[in-house]
Amino acid sequence: MNIIYFLIGCSVLLALIFLGAFFWAQRSGQNDDLYTPSMRILLDDDEPKADEK
């Protein structure tokens, strides 16, 4: 059963990595604007060619 010590160590480490990732995302401003990306993704990279000239 000593494997428990190792497993718990692993799980805590993993959780800490995720916590660190969240902190990084927060600090680098990724959560500052949660609305605009949802609109941006709907825009095409190339313009529609069916353009009436």
Partner 1 sequence: MPETITHVKTSCYHCGDECLTSSYQIEEKQFCCQGCQSVYEILSGAGLCSYYHYNDHPGATRSRTDKRFDYLSDPVILAGLLDYTDEHLSVITLYIPQIHCSSCLWLLEQLNRFNPSIYYSRVDFLKKQLIVRFDPRAFSLQQLVELLYDLGYEPLISLQDIIQKQNKAEKGNLVQKIAVAGFCFGNVMLLSFPEYFGLSGYEQTFSHFFGYLNILFTLPVVFFSGRGYFISAWHNLKNGILNIDFPLALGIAVLFLRTAVEVITHTGAGFADTLCGLVFFLLVGRFVQQKTYHHISFERDYRSFFPVAVQIIEEGREKPVPLSGLVTGHRMVIRHNEIIPADAILLKGQALIDFSFVTGESVPVNKTLGEIIYAGGRQTGEAIELEVIKPVSQSYLTQLWNNEAFTRKQDNRMKTFNERVSKYFTIILIAIAVGSLLAWLPFNYRRGIDAFTAVLIVACPCALALSTPFTMSAALSIFDRNLFYLKNTAVVEQMARVNTLVMDKTGTITTGRGKRIDLSGALTGEQQQLIYSACVNSIHPLSRMICQYFGALEKLPVTYYKELPGKGITAIIGGHLLRIGSGKFIFGDFKETKLMTRVHLMIDGSFLGYFTFLQEYREGMERIGELKSAYSLYLLSGDQDHERDELLRFFPDEGHLYFSQSPQQKLDRVETLRQQGNKVMMLGDGLNDSGALKQSDLGVAVTDDVNNFSPGSDAILDGRSFHKLPAFLRFSKDTVHIIHTSFLISLTYNLVGLSYAVTGRLSPLVAAVLMPLSTVTIISFTTLATHFAAKRRKLI
Residue 32 C-beta: closest distance to partner 1, Å: 8
Q: Is residue 6 close enough to count as binding partner 1 by CB under 8 A?
A: no
How far CA 13 is from CA of 8, 18, 27, 29, in Å, comes to 8, 9, 21, 25
Asked if residues 9 and 3 have their Cβ atoms less than 8 Å apart, the reply is: no
Q: Is residue 51 close enough to count as binding partner 1 by CB under 8 A?
A: yes
In the complex, the residues that contact partner 1 under the rule CB under 8 A are 1, 4-5, 8, 11-12, 15, 18-19, 22-23, 26, 31-33, 35-36, 39-40, 42-44, 47-48, 51
